[in-house]
């Protein structure tokens, strides 16, 4: 047994050493070795990298300015930095691995410690076993010394010892197993305890919660009880109240019932009357449609009668309106006729810088304070007087006063206003009546006559800031047309022409050099027209301005010296106004001819030759033709020499018949111009004086107003024409009380008896 035990012991020792060697090769150790090897490899690699790095740095430091491998260098540097980064990473990895190795070593030490412990245990076990062995040997020795029986027992024991030993081993292993079981059970127990503890904790929490809930429940129960109590009380109270109320109501209902009963008794007769009323109403409703129809019929009849009456009144009014219109036109014509169909005005321009200084520029023209138709010219020391229809002094403005103001003063009988207005010398105001008569279908000519520089263009065209007759006339036309737009449709067209050396040219046409001809209308009306003359339709002042500008540009581009040229040609602006009365279908056509004549100065008869002489001859011819025509017209001669010049031929329609003509004779007041001024004024007087001639007087009388008109005029004007403030007849009126205009009219009335 001892031997076998020893052998077993040896075997176990061997087993232990084997186990130890085996343990030395555990996973951890293998891993450690592997890591150490990896570590070593990485170290090697790092060293190699560093070597490479050094090599590269050395290369970089080497001067290589002209090195052709700059790109290569950059690439290498890039690679270098890459490698450095890698080295850095590797280093970090290395540190990590070191740490891991450290951890592994620690674990290994732990395992070794545990191994030592188990070795010590094993030694103890051995000790114990050897002790038992000794005991057993001693027992064996003592037993050997005992008698035979004992030997037997020993033998039995020996035999049984193996069994015991086996049992021992089994017991040991069982013990081991049980121990393990106990360990496990302990572990389980520990866990169970922990669980128990946590459940206890939970239980405590739950208990606390339950308590809380119970308390809450208790409270709620109490509250509910209280509420129930209150509700019970309330209910009782409400029942009581309802009961008492019901009793009261019941009483009231009873009372009501009694009242209703009495009411019922009294209402019965009312019901009877109501029924009666209802029946009668029903009858009325039945009859109502008939009644309505009848009423409607009568109302309709009344309305249609009223409409008929309104219609007839309207017709009457329209008839009256037309009659009034006719009358107004007649009156207007009469008024213009009263003033003369051909009127001659004089306008004296102010002395200008161009007139120079000294005696040459002295003023030679004076006026009559009491008579606005007279002016005096100092010529060669003698004062010559001239009488025209009206004279505008230098201070006369271009401006316009409202078209009606003149006559409004007369109608209203406001003598002061009348006098004030008559005293104001405003050029356009005098022209207004002529312009408006164009709208009624009359032809009008306005001429500016005079020597060059006397103010013809100023009067006709004016300046941008102070426009002349042309602009103002068109503006007036537009405003008049607008005022009549309710009944009339008007179209206004404008043409501009020039007559130079007896040649007619279109100023608005595409071919200004083209000569235009004046022809008879092919329709047999005897009217004249100019084929090819451009007409622009104008609708606003802006349109006119555009037309004027266009004409101006044409004129400027066509001649080298505009001033010179314009003084040698007649400029015509022809405005045609066509109207249609929408209610009557009446059509009217009026023409307004605005003529800036060529300079009337006489060109030195001896000096002039060639084209200058031809120009002068043409101008002279056409101006004297104009004078002749006006003279013939004014003296009502049978033959009017229209064909003697292009100008008069072109304007034939606008000079003859019912047409109205205004001759604005422009003069310069300067001393140096007196002979030309004298000529112009003589021309003016010649044209105008016709009505005083013995032949024309008869004819003129025909054009004077009828006796009836004279009566009206007298009643209007006599109060401040023939009465003096003192009441003595024919006494000379105080200055300022008589306007120059009224003096002129008085003279006319005297002349005509």
Q: Which residues bind ligand ADP (CB under 6 A)?
A: 349-350, 352, 450, 452-458, 567, 666
Contacts of 342 (CB under 8 A, 6+ apart): 630, 633, 634, 660, 661, 662, 663, 687, 688
Q: CA 668 to CA 347: how far, in whole Å?
A: 9
Of 346 and 450, nearer to Mg ion (C-beta) is 450
Of 499 and 632, nearer to Mg ion (C-beta) is 499
Binding site annotation covers 90? no
Of 350 and 693, nearer to ligand ADP (C-beta) is 350
Task: Choose among Mg ion, ligand ADP, none what residue 505 binds, the Cβ cut-off being 5 to 8 Å by kind.
Answer: none
| Closest distance to ligand ADP from the beta carbon of 627 (Å) | 18
CA distances in angstroms from 519 to 532, 578, 612, 656, 669, listed in the order given: 11, 21, 29, 17, 41
Binding site annotation covers 452? yes
| Closest distance to Mg ion from the beta carbon of 695 (Å) | 35
| Closest distance to ligand ADP from the beta carbon of 458 (Å) | 3
Binding site annotation covers 454? yes
Task: Choose among ligand ADP, Mg ion, none what residue 493 binds, the Cβ cut-off being 5 to 8 Å by kind.
Answer: none
Of 256 and 463, nearer to ligand ADP (C-beta) is 463
> How are beta strands 382-387 and 390-392 bridged, if at all?
unpaired
| Closest distance to ligand ADP from the beta carbon of 573 (Å) | 14
What is the DSSP track for 263-326? HHHHHHHHHHHHHHHHHHHHHHHHHHHHHHHHHHHHHHHHHHHHHHHHHHHHHHHHHHHHHHHH
Which residues of this chain interact with Mg ion, rule CB under 5 A?
456-457
Binding site annotation covers 532? no
Q: CA 682 to CA 376: how far, in whole Å?
A: 12
Of 456 and 746, nearer to ligand ADP (C-beta) is 456
> How are beta strands 488-500 and 503-506 bridged, if at all?
antiparallel
Q: How many CB atoms neighbour CB 747 within 10 A?
A: 13
Tokens of 673: 């111009």
* DSSP type of residue 753: -
Task: Choose among Mg ion, ligand ADP, none what residue 450 binds, the Cβ cut-off being 5 to 8 Å by kind.
Answer: ligand ADP
Q: CA 400 to CA 480: how far, in whole Å?
A: 14
CA angle 408, 413, 417 (to 5 degrees): 65
| Closest distance to ligand ADP from the beta carbon of 457 (Å) | 3
Of 601 and 700, nearer to ligand ADP (C-beta) is 601
Q: Which residue is nearest to Mg ion (CB)?
A: 457
What is the DSSP track for 80-101? HHHHHHHHHHHHHHHHHHHHHH
Binding site annotation covers 589? no
Binding site annotation covers 457? yes
Task: Choose among Mg ion, ligand ADP, none what residue 571 binds, the Cβ cut-off being 5 to 8 Å by kind.
Answer: none
Q: Which residue is nearest to ligand ADP (CB)?
A: 455
Task: Choose among ligand ADP, Mg ion, none what residue 454 binds, the Cβ cut-off being 5 to 8 Å by kind.
Answer: ligand ADP
Residue keyed to tokens 């186990």: 19
Binding site annotation covers 102? no
Binding site annotation covers 456? yes
| Closest distance to Mg ion from the beta carbon of 457 (Å) | 3
| Closest distance to ligand ADP from the beta carbon of 518 (Å) | 25
Task: Choose among ligand ADP, Mg ion, none what residue 634 binds, the Cβ cut-off being 5 to 8 Å by kind.
Answer: none
Q: CA 167 to CA 295: how far, in whole Å?
A: 146
- Please list the helix, strand and coil fractions of the chain in percent, rounded to the nearest 5, in that order: 65, 15, 20
Task: Choose among ligand ADP, Mg ion, none what residue 453 binds, the Cβ cut-off being 5 to 8 Å by kind.
Answer: ligand ADP
Q: Which residues are annotated binding-site positions for ATP?
A: 450-457
Q: Which residues are annotated binding-site positions?
A: 450-457
């Amino acid at each position: 047994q001892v031997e076998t035990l020893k052998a077993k012991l040896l075997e176990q020792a061997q087993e232990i050493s084997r186990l130890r060697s085996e343990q030395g090769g555990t996973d951890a150790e293998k891993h450690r070795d592997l890591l150490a090897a990896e570590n070593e490899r990485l170290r090697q690699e790092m060293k190699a990298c560093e070597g490479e790095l050094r090599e590269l740095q050395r290369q970089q430091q080497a001067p290589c300015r002209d090195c052709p491998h700059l790109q290569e260098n950059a690439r290498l540097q890039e690679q270098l930095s890459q490698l450095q980064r890698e080295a850095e990473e590797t280093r970090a990895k290395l540190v990590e691995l070191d740490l891991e190795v450290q951890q592994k070593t620690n674990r290994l030490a732990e395992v070794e410690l545990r191994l030592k412990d188990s070795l010590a245990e094993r030694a103890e076990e051995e000790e114990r076993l050897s002790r038992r062995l000794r005991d057993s040997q001693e027992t064996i020795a003592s037993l050997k010394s005992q008698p035979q029986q004992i030997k037997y027992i020993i033998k039995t024991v020996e035999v049984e010892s193996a069994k015991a030993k086996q049992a021992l081993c089994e017991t040991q292993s069982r013990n081991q197993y049980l121990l393990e079981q106990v360990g496990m059970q302990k572990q389980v127990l520990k866990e169970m305890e922990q669980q128990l503890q946590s459940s206890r904790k939970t239980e405590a929490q739950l208990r606390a919660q339950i308590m809380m809930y119970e308390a809450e429940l208790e409270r709620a129960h109490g509250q509910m009880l209280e509420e129930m109590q209150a509700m019970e009380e309330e209910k009782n109270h409400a029942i009581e109240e309802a009961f008492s109320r019901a009793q009261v109501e019941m009483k009231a209902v009873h009372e009501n019932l009694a009242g209703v009963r009495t009411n019922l008794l009294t209402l019965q007769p009312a019901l009877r009357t109501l029924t009666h009323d209802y029946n009668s109403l029903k009858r009325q409703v039945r009859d109502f449609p008939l009644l309505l129809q009848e009423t409607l019929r009568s109302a309709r009849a009344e309305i249609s009668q009223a409409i008929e009456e309104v219609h007839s009144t309207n017709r009457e009014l329209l008839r009256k309106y037309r009659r009034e219109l006719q009358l107004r036109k007649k009156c207007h014509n009469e008024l213009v006729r009263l003033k003369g169909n051909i009127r001659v005005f004089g306008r004296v321009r102010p002395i200008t810088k161009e007139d120079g200084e000294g005696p040459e520029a002295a003023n030679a023209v004076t006026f009559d304070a009491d008579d606005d138709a007279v002016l005096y010219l100092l010529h060669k020391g003698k004062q010559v007087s001239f009488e025209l229809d009206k004279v505008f002094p230098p201070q006369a403005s271009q401006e316009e006063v409202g078209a009606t103001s003149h006559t409004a003063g007369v109608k209203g009988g406001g003598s002061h206003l009348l006098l004030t207005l008559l005293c104001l010398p405003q050029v356009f105001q005098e022209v207004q009546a002529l312009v408006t008569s164009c709208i009624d279908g009359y032809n009008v000519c306005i001429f500016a006559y005079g020597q060059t520089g006397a103010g013809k263009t100023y009067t006709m065209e004016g300046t941008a800031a102070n426009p002349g007759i042309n602009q103002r006339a068109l503006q007036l036309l537009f405003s008049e047309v607008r005022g009549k737009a309710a009944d009339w449709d008007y179209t206004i067209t404008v043409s501009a022409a020039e007559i130079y050396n007896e040649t007619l040219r279109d100023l608005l046409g595409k071919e200004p050099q083209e000569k235009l001809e004046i022809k008879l209308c092919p329709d047999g009306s005897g009217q004249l027209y100019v084929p090819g003359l451009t007409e622009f339709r104008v609708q606003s002042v802006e349109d006119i301005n555009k037309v004027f500008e266009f004409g101006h540009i044409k004129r400027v581009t066509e001649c080298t010296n505009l001033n010179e040229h314009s003084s040698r040609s007649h400029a015509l602006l022809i405005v045609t106004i066509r109207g249609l009365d929408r209610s009557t279908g009446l059509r009217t056509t009026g023409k307004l001819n605005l003529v800036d004549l060529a300079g009337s100065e006489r060109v030195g008869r001896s000096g002039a030759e060639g084209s200058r002489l031809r120009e002068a001859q043409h101008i002279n011819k056409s101006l004297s033709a104009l004078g002749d025509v006006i003279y013939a017209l004014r003296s009502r001669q049978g033959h009017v020499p229209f064909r003697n010049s292009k100008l008069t031929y072109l304007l034939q329609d606008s000079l003859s018949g019912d047409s109205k003509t205004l001759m604005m004779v422009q003069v310069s007041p300067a001393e140096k111009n007196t002979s030309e001024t004298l000529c112009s004024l003589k021309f003016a007087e010649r044209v105008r004086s016709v009505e005083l001639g013995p032949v024309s007087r008869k004819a003129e009388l025909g054009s004077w107003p009828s006796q009836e008109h004279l009566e009206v005029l007298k009643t209007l004007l006599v109060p401040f024409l023939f009465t003096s403030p003192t009441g003595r007849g024919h006494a000379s009126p105080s200055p300022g009380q008589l306007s120059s205009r009224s003096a002129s009219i008085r003279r006319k009335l005297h002349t005509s008896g």
